[in-house]
A and B are shown apart, each in its own frame.
Chain A
Amino acid sequence: MRLKIIFGVFLIANFIAAQTRPTISDEPLSQRIANYKMDVRLTPETKTIEGKEILTWRNVSQDTIRELRFHMYMNAFKNTKSTFYKEGGHRFRGGSNKKKKKNEWGWVKILSIKDNSENNLTGSMKYIQPDDDNIYDQTVLSVPLTNPVLPDSTIVLEIDFQTKLPKAVARSGYVRDYFLVAQWFPKIGVYEIPGERHATEGRWNCHQYHANTEFYADFGNYDVKITLPKEYVTGATGIEKETKLNTDGTKTVNYYAEDVVDFAWTASKRYKIFTDQWNHVKIKAMVQPEHSAHSGRLISAVKNALEYYAKHVGEYPYTTVTIVDPPYYAGAVGGMEYPTFFTTFTFWGVPENVRFIESVTVHEFGHNYFMGLLATNEFEEAWLDEGFNTYLEARIMDHYYGEKTSAIDFFGFHAGDFEFIRAGYVGMNNPKVAPTATPAWKFPYGYSTFTYSKTATWMTMLERLIGTETMDEIMQTYYKRWRFKHPDGKDFIAVVNEIVKKKHGNKFGENMNWYFDQVLYGTGVCDYKLSWIRNVKVKKDKGIFDNPADTLNNNKITKDSTWYKSKLYVERLGEIQMPVEILVHFSNGFEKLEHWNGKGRYKIFEYEKPHKIVWAKLDPENKLVMEINLKNNSLNSKPRTSVIWKYASKVLFWLENLMVSATMLF
């Protein structure tokens, strides 16, 4: 009993300490529902982490909570029967099982779990599979409570856990003595209250670990002490508060983060640290020594992203950002995002104008906003996370590195970031296979293309239709209204409807639902076609006319003046209906911009002028970036063959060289 009292006092003191600790920000930025205090030890030889977790969880709902649910995501790498592997996890970097040894699998287990009344809950916990009934999947744990959590009250749990890290797979684990520790501790799921996202009544939203998605968690504070051999250089979510050297050759590093949804960390003996500052943000780049030359590129990319996000979306609220550059042999952990901390990917000798280093860095940093701050549900609406982030990535890359050169500008070959993204979507074999608004694990195929590329493409198209200024206001409002919360698709659409109406009135209709119904919830494609141009000479009217006005044509047709009846035929081949602009060019150089609501299956534009139509161009300002066929968007009655000559001569030249080279071989 005495022990119980001591333990109870300890937990309460701990909770109070957590709530009254000097904070990074002056006041809580989020509801701080899930707060963790952890004391863990990494044993590099066995690749295990053992630790104690004190979880302080607030029930902000009006429900009495009788069960808690936890992410036990390291179990996704426990065996080939996990949902991660069933869904094709072997396709991921490091996912192959061919050469996997027994000690290279990963898992997490709770050794004991007690509540603040010292009820031992260990015996009653069980794995559940809310998504797919795969009984072998142990990535979600249900813990029935002895003492329910009442509305507006808090539960403190003491959890002893052990994690065995896998050999790096799907962006987490170890290789040799390199560690990237993510999805590693028992983490509580999200209890959604009615009205939050799609919830109509209180419910746990705690998905299994899927091959493509892994993020959805509540905000909170993390106070984590990591003990490990002192030779290791560490980095983590949040700020490094202190490092203490221990007598046993280890050190304990204390990291602290506020108002974040996750905590990840890394340890390696080889990191070289580069630091810089951008306004209030301390940038730390943890780089492999052989990649030192790239440190400037990484930091510069992050500074660009910080600046662009601050201007076009909203200020970065945290005071640190840590860039992690894994070694080549741990490439499986490259390109992943955690709050204030992300991994990128570099390779020795990559030329400055091959910019995947920058694009990965900008992308992963962007996740601080999309998923990190606007804590959407990646499982159910990955487009709000990856899609929006990809859209901003393209804007940032194209802004700082050039619209046609931001991805690569090397030996005459150049391409922009957005160009690559769009090409991914329009190049799909079947872009109609599923709507973008499909839960991530339910796509038959093409998850990445639909989520990343298609979303970024229709976001860009939306921006070009309504204007960048309006789009910026949408993103700023969405951010301001929903940061540190869990928005869903309808919340974003509501912001779009509000801002578009405010800026443009009814120019685009009563609201913009028609847009999202097509690009987000629909499966159709956008394809308009300029089918033909016809110029017919107007002839003098002949015969007997009762009304002289019926022969007006005859007056304008003279020896020196020929008139034409010209027609331009435009078709809609795709299902998507968009407002369309058509630029019509006449033989005297006159140009007319036509507008069509794009709703019908076809539209004919007719003219009677002393000049012919020479050419016409659909969507001359390239707004309809979802157009899957640009070839049929223009017509020239006098086609130019100069491009054909150019490419035929190129082919001639390269073929000649190929043949001459072939003769030199033997």
Chain B
Amino acid sequence: MNVLKSYFNGLKTAWNSKRMTALLYILLLIFSFVVVIPFFGILKKETGFSMSVYPLLKDFDLTVYSDFIQHSGKAIKPFVSIGIWLSVFYLFFGVFLSGGIIHIIYDEENNFSLKEFFAGCGNYVLPFFRLTFFSFLVQAVIALIIYVPLFAYLDSLSETAESEITLVYTFITGAAIHLILAAIVMLITDYAKIMMVVNESRKAFVSFWLSFKFFLKYFFKVIFLYILLLVFPVLALIAYFIFSQHFTIVSKSSFLIVVTVQQVFVLFRLWFKIWFYGSEISFLTETLGIKRKPATEEVWDVHALEVSEEEIEIDPDEL
């Protein structure tokens, strides 16, 4: 069964991508430090010589926390907006990076080098942005299609429903449908990116459409693979949650353990992303019988990238 094979191929790819995972982690850390280092400084300045915040070491304390926010909130507030804007920026940076990731792992030999990686990033950045924009539009339309009628329905339902349970379940149903559709769009976007690399195409819309057709044709297999891929991230999340609920910082060593676990969790998330792409590439190429080829210098010949529809490896009619 090529789903399981793809799943394990993806695992193998991720396992062989330690250097790329490390690179992604370092880049993430650098971005994070833009906020965290000044935040540390401000926190240090704001607490000064006061002992008032010490109870927060062991546990959350509303009195201490609210008092601190009351008097130092103004100094802390800018970091919240910087964090949000940084995340928005990182969203685009992530789109940029995905070109490099897919390019490297599409190469079966997985020859990672910084040059290759960033060449892949640079090559696909514009088409991937177009794809992102298109994907965003689709997501927005789906959200509108679901929530506008949903809230109108909830409004009218609230005039007649005897119990709030009806409203809660109605909303949960709508939100669940949205979540599933949004996940599907994310999945289609992933496959569209892979198809662009496979086809050496720059046509975002065509790739999205091909990906959509591929998704429909292999619906159950794609979904099964996706669910399989979600198993470990969900388990990791649960494990982290249990850990965070039961492990208290009481000393320097316990602090180091917490920080290490947190960073390992982040590292795993990046690694899972590579696993996702690895499995999806494997599934797509295995399903469509595409022979994966190593990336070569020639690929980056601008003229070589301007492929015609005839040259693409994935035949739209086949889908």
Contact = CB atoms under 8 A, between A and B. Distances in A.
Interface stretch (B8-16, B53-61, B219-227, B292-300): B53-61
Contacts of B139: 665-666
A122 B86 CA distance: 73
A6 interface: no
Interface in B216-235: none
B255 A656 contact: no
Contacts of A426: 66-67, 70
A411 B246 CA distance: 11
Interface in A611-646: 615, 617, 628-637, 639-646
Interface in B256-303: 258-259, 262-263, 265-266, 269-270, 273
Interface stretch (A75-83, A359-367, A417-425): A417-425
Interface in A392-446: 404, 411-416, 419-420, 422-423, 426-427
B226 to A, nearest CB: 13
B40 A644 contact: yes
A659 B32 contact: yes
Nearest to A328: B164
Contacts, number: 185
Contacts of A412: 60, 244-245
B163 A666 contact: no
Contacts of A423: 62-63, 66
A299 to B, nearest CB: 21
Nearest to A622: B63
B36 A629 contact: no
A657 B164 CA distance: 34
B42 to A, nearest CB: 10
Interface centre among B35, B72, B91, B189 (most CB of A within 10 A): B91
B94 interface: yes
Contacts of B61: 404
B90 A651 contact: no
Interface centre among B43, B139, B189, B244 (most CB of A within 10 A): B43
A657 B269 contact: yes
Contacts of A289: 163
A631 B255 contact: no
A639 B40 contact: no
A650 to B, nearest CB: 8
Contact of B57 (A327, A643, A655, A656): A643
Contact of A644 (B47, B98, B165, B245): B47
Interface in B77-109: 79, 83-84, 86-88, 90-91, 93-95, 97-98
Interface of A: 270, 288-290, 327-329, 347-349, 404, 411-416, 419-420, 422-423, 426-427, 615, 617, 628-637, 639-649, 651-653, 655-666
30 contacts: A288-B163, A290-B164, A419-B66, A426-B66, A427-B66, A628-B70, A630-B52, A630-B67, A634-B50, A634-B51, A636-B50, A637-B49, A639-B48, A639-B51, A640-B54, A645-B255, A648-B36, A648-B40, A652-B262, A653-B263, A653-B265, A655-B36, A655-B83, A656-B29, A659-B86, A660-B270, A660-B273, A663-B90, A665-B91, A666-B186
Interface of B: 28-29, 31-33, 35-36, 39-40, 43-44, 47-54, 56-57, 60-64, 66-68, 70-72, 79, 83-84, 86-88, 90-91, 93-95, 97-98, 131-132, 135-136, 139, 158, 161-165, 167-168, 186, 189, 244-245, 249, 252, 255, 258-259, 262-263, 265-266, 269-270, 273
